[in-house]
Structures are given as structure tokens and as C-alpha cells.
Amino acid sequence: MSHDGADLARSSTPPKRVRNAAATREAILRSAVIAFTRHGYDGVGVREIAQSAGVTAMLVNRYFGSKEQLFTEAVDTAFAPRTVLSDNPATLAGDVAARLVERTAPESEHLDPFLLMLRSASNPRAAEIVRAGVERHAGRYLSELLEGPDADERAMLAHSVIAGFWLMRKMLGSTALVTADPDELTRRLEALLVIALSPSREK
Amino acid sequence: MSHDGADLARSSTPPKRVRNAAATREAILRSAVIAFTRHGYDGVGVREIAQSAGVTAMLVNRYFGSKEQLFTEAVDTAFAPRTVLSDNPATLAGDVAARLVERTAPESEHLDPFLLMLRSASNPRAAEIVRAGVERHAGRYLSELLEGPDADERAMLAHSVIAGFWLMRKMLGSTALVTADPDELTRRLEALLVIALSPSREK
DNA sequence: GTCTATATAATGATAGAC
DNA sequence: GTCTATCATTATATAGAC
């Protein structure tokens, strides 16, 4: 499929793909993030990921060594950008609540890192990789944003609330949360996040 | 361990197990609850479950039809008893918070239905089965205990908080939550649950 | 009532051709 | 740089012996 003759203009390759290691690696990684987010670590095979990237399964191991190492890079890629976190501490809880309700809506098909986390956490190996990723990115960023004592603890408690909500509303599809009024739900979530993020009153 | 030959004492079968359909079924179901809680729906095979029950994999399908139907019964069995919920609405939040911190402690190996839920939710089929189980048991019980409007929504929001905490502290092993002071953690969780369970102020 | 043996399909990973 | 072909393992589920 391809001739790289210089002057054979007419029959020049309709090249379905450039043979480029870096680009191929990139394509596999992008497919991996999507697939792992949709189906979790155990729920997807390397064949499937490779096919979405337009290559064969072999190249996955060629470029990443193993499924586990591919997952490690995918987690890092997925958690690097901010998704639900805003940068203004004053409006943080409200912003997060609003985006969360929006993204967990039944009609939304948003691919969120929290889904990657929830769907992969049942595998202990994957869970450890995800823990490291969370603490390195979102957790660390949020901790730095918070003032007062126990910033890490409060950040992870907020993550607990967010993750639990993703699980019950989007993954499980809890009837009460799916049919609830979004504005009402947003207010409740905001109240929860305010509590989770606040420094403790007593000591 | 029983020989049922009346007078053939010597050559009677050294029966390693009583051939009893009901008892075998029960044993399989008990093993299934444990295995599914430890490893999730996709994380365990029928062979493994059968072996723990002292039988072969064949009998699982014989008595339950399929792995999926076995899971359905296991979910029902696991969610039937109350685990973290107390029966006094006034002390509910505090009671749940205390038990939760205790059971998610690093040294605890408690097999909680929430673990079964979290570890199986990545499989869509299993997630639907779990959703039905939760709404039928714990969710319904909690809803009836609550007074005021939106009882279902508040109940599921509380479940979100509990599930998220199980995930971040026990499954992921978040450093901040593992090393946090348990009393401090309990106070924060109690505050979160109070908010989750309270009827909304405005409307 | 329970077993052994097997059918069928999928997995992660690798060897070697081009 | 990428492919086809294959290995070894494991999964659920079933057929038929005892």
C-alpha cells in the first residue's frame, strides 16, 4: 500500500497513515485515555485501544511496554488539565457544584477523569496508579489553593464528595439523583463542598 | 464428617461432603458475597467462587443459571442487613460517621456492601443490578427514616458521601485520609452527613 | 448431586517477516 | 515502523459420565 516513488504523481499514495513513531504513540495514548475512561482498566483490552488508534495491538506494547505502563501514562494525561476545579477560592464550591451537576446529567457524555478513577479503582494495581495521579495533580493543586490547616485532608474530602456523586448519579444511575431538580441538587452539593473544604471549627 | 451407610462401616464412602442441594447453594452464595466484595464483579471468576465453597464451577451455573444471576442474589444478600445505618434519626449522622471511619481504617478488613458496590460499578450490567439493590434496601430504609421533602434525594446524597469516602480512603488509599486523625475525620464526616440529610432551607 | 472433560471466546504479550 | 501469526492463559458455560 504505498509506493514512495517521487515522480509517479497519479498513483501517488492515498496514505492512510504516516509512518511516524511519535504520532502513533500519541494516537495510542489519546485512544487509551478515552477507552480507560469509558470502560475502566479491566474493561478494555489493548486490541480495542489499538484499533481506535488505527494500529495493531502489537504497537501498544512496542511503545509503552505493557498495558499497565500505558495506563500510567493515560492517568497522567487525563489528570493533568483542570476539569471541575476553578481557580477562585471564594467561588470554588459553587463552581464545582454547578459543573458537576451539569456533567453528571443523564444526557451528558462528558469524559471526566473521575470516571477513569471510579471505573479503574476495582483493580488494586490500577488503584495505586490512580492514587498517585490524583495526589500529584488535582489533589495537590486544590491543597495549594486552600488556606488554613489540614489542606490535604480537606482537599481529599472534597474529592470524596465529588467522586461519590459521580458514582451514584452517573455510574449507578440512582433514580432519585437522576430525576432531582438540577438547581436544588447544585445547592445541596455546594453546601456539602463548603463543609468539606472549610477548616475545622474546633480543635 | 458423616457416612450414611448403615452397616457398611468399613468400605463406606469417605464422603468429603454431604450431598445436599440447599446447603451447597447456600455455601456458593456465601462465597460469592465475599468474593464479589473483595474483587468486584469482573475481578472474580466462577471457578474461584466455587472453589471457596468446596465445589466445582459447574454447580454455580447449575444452581444460579449464570454468573450474572449469582451476582444478583449476592447483591440482595449483601445489602439486606444494615451495616452503617443506625435507627435513631437524631444520632444518625454521628453514628454513621464513626462506623465509617472505623471500617475504612487501614487495618480494618471489614467486608462492606459499599465495597461490593464500588468494585462492581465499572461493569454496566453489574451497576444496574447494584442500583436496584441499593434502592430496594439501604436507600429505601434511609428514605423512610428521614422526614420532610426530598427524602430519596437526601438519602442518595448521603450514600454518595459514604461511597466517595470508602473509595478515597480505603480503595485508593489516599495518603491524607489514611494518615488523618480519626476523630477529626469523624467530625468532618458527621458535618457532611448532617448537610446531606437535612431538608433544603430555601425553596 | 456432583464430577471430569471440553467447547468457545477472549485476554496480554511476543517472534519474526517485510 | 508496522504488520501477521501465534503462544500461553483464562474466562463462562455446557455435555455427558457416575
Structural domains of chain A ordered from first start? 5-73 (1.10.10.60), 89-197 (no CATH)
Instruction: Verify if strand D has an atom below 7 Å from the CB of B48.
Output: yes
Tell me the average pLDDT across A65-85: 92
Indicate whether B8 pLDDT > 80: no
> CA separation (Å) from B165 to B55, B94, B162?
36, 15, 5
Nucleotides in C strand less than 7 A from protein CB: 1-5, 10-16
Q: Residue B41: closest CA among chain A residues belongs to which residue?
A: A122
> With bands split at pLDDT 50, 70 and 90, how would you rate the model's confidence at A136?
very high
Q: State how far residue A119 is from chain B, nearest Cα, in angstroms.
A: 5
Say yes or no for a CB contact (<8 Å) between B172 and A121: yes
Tell me the average pLDDT across A56-85: 93
Nucleotides in D strand less than 7 A from protein CB: 1-5, 10-16
- A193: nearest Cα among A112, A100, A115, A94: A94
pLDDT in tens, B60-91: 999 999 999 999 999 999 999 877 677 788 99
Question: Residue A200 has what DSSP assignment?
Answer: P
- Largest CA-CA distance found in chain B, in angstroms, rounded: 80
Name every chain A residue with its beta carbon within 8 A of the beta carbon of B118.
118, 121-122, 167
| Maximum mean pLDDT: which of A7-21, B85-99, B185-199 | B185-199
Indicate whether A14 pLDDT > 70: no
Question: Residue B170 has what DSSP assignment?
Answer: I
Q: What is the pLDDT of residue B18?
A: 64
Q: What is the pLDDT of residue A86?
A: 74
Q: What is the pLDDT of residue B1?
A: 38
Distance of alpha carbon A35 from the chain centroid: 10
Indicate whether A2 pLDDT > 70: no
Query: Is there a contact between B36 and B44 (Cβ–Cβ < 8 Å)?
Result: yes
Indicate whether A203 pLDDT > 80: no
Q: What is the pLDDT of residue A140?
A: 87
Q: What is the pLDDT of residue A198?
A: 95
DSSP string covering A103-160, please?
A: HTSTT-----HHHHHHHHTTSHHHHHHHHHHHHHTHHHHHHHH--SS-HHHHHHHHHH
Instruction: Verify if strand D has an atom below 7 Å from the CB of A47.
Output: no
What is the three-state SS of chain A?
A: CCCCCCCCCCCCCCCCCCCCHHHHHHHHHHHHHHHHHHHCCCCCCHHHHHHHCCCCHHHHHHHHCCHHHHHHHHHHHHHCCCCCCCCCCCCHHHHHHHHHHHHCCCCCCCCCHHHHHHHHCCCHHHHHHHHHHHHHCHHHHHHHHCCCCCHHHHHHHHHHHHHHHHHHHHHCCCHHHHHCCHHHHHHHHHHHHHHHHCCCCCC
Instruction: Verify if strand C has an atom below 7 Å from the CB of A126.
Output: no
Mean pLDDT rounded to a whole number for chain A: 90
CB crowding B61-89: b at 16 or more within 10 Å, else e: eebbeebeebbbbbbbbbbeeebbbbeee
Distance CA B66 to C1' D12 in A: 8
Q: What is the pLDDT of residue A9?
A: 43
Tell me the average pLDDT across A9-35: 77
Indicate whether A3 pLDDT > 50: no
Query: Is there a contact between B200 and A185 (Cβ–Cβ < 8 Å)?
Result: no
- Helix (H) or strand (E) holding B39, with range, is helix B21-39
Mutate to test the interface with B, among A44, A122, A189, A194 (most CBs of B within 10 A): A122
Name every chain B residue with its beta carbon within 8 A of the beta carbon of A173.
127-128, 131
Name every chain A residue with its beta carbon within 8 A of the beta carbon of B176.
135, 139, 152-153, 155-156
Mutate to test the interface with B, among A71, A75, A160, A194 (most CBs of B within 10 A): A160
Instruction: Verify if strand C has an atom below 7 Å from the CB of B19.
Output: yes
Percent of chain A at pLDDT > 90 equals 80
pLDDT in tens, A174-192: 999 999 999 999 999 999 9
pLDDT in tens, B92-141: 999 999 999 999 999 999 999 999 999 999 999 999 999 999 999 988 89
Shortest CA to C1' contact from B21: nucleotide: C1
Quote the cell numbers at residue B199: 431538608
pTM for this structure? 0.92
pLDDT in tens, B15-39: 455 678 899 999 999 999 999 999 9
Cα dihedral across residues B7, B13, B14, B16: positive or negative: negative
> With bands split at pLDDT 50, 70 and 90, how would you rate the model's confidence at A18?
low
Q: State how far residue A94 is from chain B, nearest Cα, in angstroms.
A: 15
Instruction: Verify if strand C has an atom below 7 Å from the CB of B56.
Output: yes
Tell me the average pLDDT across B43-59: 97
